């Protein structure tokens, strides 16, 4: 690897900086001798020092700041540190700690922040500014753009431009899990304003202090951004992240056939949750068609899961109408019903006809609530995407457990404080019979048979492999078949597929192997559908994957 950078300028480049690991020859050739301590250290020694420093910090936000500074200084060291201490560090740079860091963005912002900001007042210059950002970060063209407008961050909603942290966290996960080269990916925040009164009134908020663009103005901005990407990086993979419910699906559907597009909140969450349900059913010797599924939370994630499960039921031979009748979807208005005339067309497909609800009592507001649905439906699967903490209370869980021998319960809302239930309670209320996976990490739970490891339905088991495969084979678009292939590969890797007492997700320590399996399945699906621009066979797809996979190791740097 050659470079024209020398001295302090080289040490300030996170992709090239090796710190004390620069060899004697490199130091001499690159003007570094006086800028570094005498000792030449290995990457392993550097990781040891970083780990000791990390452990001295007790507060998660302090650890987040430490890890962010490391990433801005030395990408190779950051990613090797993350890889070697994944269970301790991933929850810091990604969920759940990243949510708290985003909420403090205005107070903690530092330049540079490894990402680019495209603001509404500069709409007419988006192509110029995107090119500027790519040049400054060494990306031209970018292979993967991870973009957010920060309206639907985790379970905490509109966070203005603080969403840059979720983009950075996700890209770290891409590299950790699947080996995406961190210098070939770009975090992008679309600053279309914010509706948070506290941010608008905060003199330290560094974003555009105006209410969010809505309607035609918002759609025009998004269209201008996509056109800029098409102009500068026509083969890029576009990862849409944490857009608001009203915009997420429209953006995906509008542009998925123009650029390879993927929305993790819709497609990633649905894929991981569906893989967990498939694995749980198979481990119990059952099929998906035998399940009665209740989803509490009909936003972007909940509706995406409902769609994905219905699609899988149809692939198994069930008609579209019958597939949707196996799924009961509940939102703020209670169970979705055909007389809810304000439902968008997409949700209306899951509305229950009134004639089947005559025995369902209404609450004081005229709604059919979660408890009533559980009593009437006796579901085998209960999924939470509501961000209503404690919604799966003892009465609800005991009602469900009375109607099925091994209930499958997935409280997926995060961060941790917003989970619909605590795993320890779910296992206690079901006598240890529940198969449980959560959205946030939880400690193992002691049951009569011993410690039960709680699987985390973390999207990191799906999107990194899918994104790497799409980049590697040059996918023209991300098809539903490619996502189906990803979740099937994940389901096969879930321990509960073979033993219902085993975890309902793989351990984080297995995430790289799982990501590779997902990447191969996705790449093959793209080839089989004729969507792979750079591979015409499975063999070529494997070669492309191997060539695209980056590892956290130092390369020899020579002066140009």
With H, G, I as helix, E, B as strand and everything else as coil, classify residue 17: coil
Q: Distance between CA atoms of 183 and 180, rounded to whole angstroms? A: 9
pLDDT for res 139: 62
User: Contact 396/424 with Cβ under 8 angstroms?
Assistant: no
pLDDT for res 432: 95
> Could you read off the pLDDT tens digit of each residue along the chain, which spans 560 residues?
888 999 999 999 999 999 999 999 999 999 999 999 999 999 999 999 999 999 999 999 999 999 999 999 999 999 999 999 988 998 899 888 888 899 999 999 887 667 899 999 999 999 999 998 887 666 667 799 999 999 988 768 899 999 999 999 999 999 999 999 998 999 999 999 999 999 999 999 999 999 999 999 999 999 999 999 999 999 999 999 999 988 998 999 999 999 999 999 899 999 999 999 999 999 999 999 999 999 999 988 899 999 999 999 999 999 999 999 999 999 988 999 998 878 888 888 999 999 999 999 999 889 999 999 999 999 999 999 998 999 999 999 999 999 999 999 999 997 788 899 999 999 999 999 999 999 988 999 998 888 999 999 999 999 999 999 999 999 999 999 999 999 999 999 999 999 999 999 999 889 999 999 999 999 999 999 999 999 999 999 999 999 999 999 999 999 98
Specify the residue for token string 């439906």: 377
Among the listed residues 170, 174, 205, 218, the single catalytic one is: 170
DSSP letter for each residue of 241-296: -S--HHHHHHHHHHHTTTSEEEEIIIIIHHHHHHHHHHHHHHHTT--GGG--EEEE
Q: Distance between CA atoms of 342 and 415, rounded to whole angstroms? A: 30
Q: Is 170 a catalytic residue?
A: yes
Q: Distance between CA atoms of 460 and 468, rounded to whole angstroms? A: 12
pLDDT for res 441: 85
What is the pTM for the complete model shown? 0.91
Specify the residue for token string 């703020």: 332
Q: Distance between CA atoms of 81 and 94, rounded to whole angstroms? A: 14
CB atoms within 10 A of CB 344: 11
Task: Give 156-178 as a 3 state SS string.
Answer: CECCHHHHHHHHHHHHHHHHHHH
Q: Is 321 a catalytic residue?
A: no
pLDDT for res 2: 85
User: Contact 163/148 with Cβ under 8 angstroms?
Assistant: yes
pLDDT for res 138: 65
**Phi/psi at 478 (nearest 5 deg)?**
-105, 105
pLDDT for res 35: 98
**Cα dihedral 139, 140, 146, 147 sign:** positive
pLDDT for res 137: 63
Query: How does DSSP classify residue 556?
Result: -
Q: Distance between CA atoms of 82 and 78, rounded to whole angstroms? A: 6
pLDDT for res 154: 74
Among the listed residues 94, 117, 174, 554, the single catalytic one is: 94
Structural domains of the chain, ranges and CATH numbers in brackets: 97-258 (3.40.50.10380), 268-460 (3.40.50.720)
- The pair of structure tokens assigned to 88 is 């301790």
Q: What share of the chain is helix, strand, coil (3-state, %, to 5)?
A: 50, 10, 35
pLDDT for res 389: 93
DSSP letter for each residue of 348-401: HTTPBPGGG-TT----TTS---HHHHHHHH--SEEEE-S--TT-S-HHHHHHHH
């Amino acid at each position: 690897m050659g470079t024209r950078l020398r001295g302090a300028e080289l040490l300030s480049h996170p992709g090239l900086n090796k710190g004390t690991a620069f060899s004697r020859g490199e130091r001499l050739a690159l003007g570094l001798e006086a800028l570094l301590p005498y000792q030449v250290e290995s990457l392993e020694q550097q990781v040891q020092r970083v780990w000791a420093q990390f452990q001295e910090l007790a507060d998660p936000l302090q650890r987040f700041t430490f890890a962010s500074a490391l990433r801005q200084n030395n990408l190779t060291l950051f990613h090797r540190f993350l890889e070697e201490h994944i269970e301790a560090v991933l929850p810091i740079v990604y969920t759940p700690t990243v949510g708290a860091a985003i909420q403090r963005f205005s107070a903690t912002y530092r330049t540079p922040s490894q990402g680019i900001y495209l603001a509404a007042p500069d709409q007419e210059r988006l192509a110029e500014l995107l090119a500027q950002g790519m040049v400054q970060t060494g990306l031209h063209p970018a292979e993967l753009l991870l973009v957010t407008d920060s309206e639907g961050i985790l379970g905490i909603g509109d966070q203005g431009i603080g969403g840059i942290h979720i983009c950075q966290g996700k890209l770290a996960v891409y590299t950790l899990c699947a080996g995406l080269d961190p210098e070939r990916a770009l975090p992008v925040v679309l600053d279309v304003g914010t509706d948070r009164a506290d941010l608008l009134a905060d003199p330290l908020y560094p974003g555009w202090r105006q209410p969010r663009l809505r309607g035609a103005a918002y759609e025009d901005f998004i269209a201008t951004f996509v056109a800029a990407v098409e102009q500068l990086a026509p083969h890029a993979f576009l990862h849409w992240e944490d857009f608001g419910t009203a915009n997420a699906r429209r953006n995906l559907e509008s542009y998925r056939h123009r650029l390879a597009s993927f929305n993790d909140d819709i497609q990633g969450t649905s894929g991981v949750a569906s893989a967990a349900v498939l694995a749980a059913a198979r481990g119990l010797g059952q099929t998906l068609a035998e399940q009665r599924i209740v989803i509490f939370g009909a936003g972007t994630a909940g509706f995406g899961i409902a769609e994905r499960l219905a699609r899988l039921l149809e692939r198994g031979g069930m008609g579209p109408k019958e597939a949707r009748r196996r799924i009961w979807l509940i939102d703020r208005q209670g169970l979705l019903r055909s007389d809810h005339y304000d439902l968008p067309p997409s949700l209306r497909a899951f509305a229950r006809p009134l004639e089947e609800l005559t025995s369902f009592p209404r609450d004081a507001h005229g709604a059919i609530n979660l408890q009533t649905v559980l009593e009437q439906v006796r579901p085998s699967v209960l999924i939470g995407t509501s961000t209503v903490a404690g919604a799966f209370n003892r009465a609800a869980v005991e009602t469900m457990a009375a109607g099925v021998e091994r209930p499958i319960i997935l409280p997926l809302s995060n961060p941790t404080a917003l989970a619909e239930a605590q795993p320890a309670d779910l296992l206690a209320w079901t006598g240890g019979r529940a198969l449980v996976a959560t959205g946030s990490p939880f400690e193992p739970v002691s049951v009569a048979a011993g410690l039960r490891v709680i699987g985390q339905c973390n999207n990191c088991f799906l999107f990194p492999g899918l994104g790497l495969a799409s980049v590697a084979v040059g996918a023209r678009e991300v098809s539903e078949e490619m996502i189906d292939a990803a979740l099937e590969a994940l389901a096969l890797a879930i321990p509960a597929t073979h033993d219902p007492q085993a975890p309902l997700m793989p351990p984080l320590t297995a995430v790289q192997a799982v990501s590779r399996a997902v990447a191969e399945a996705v790449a093959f699906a793209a080839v089989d559908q004729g969507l792979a621009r750079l591979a015409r066979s499975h063999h070529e797809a494997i070669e492309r994957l191997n060539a695209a996979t980056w590892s956290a190791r130092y390369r020899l740097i020579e002066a140009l």
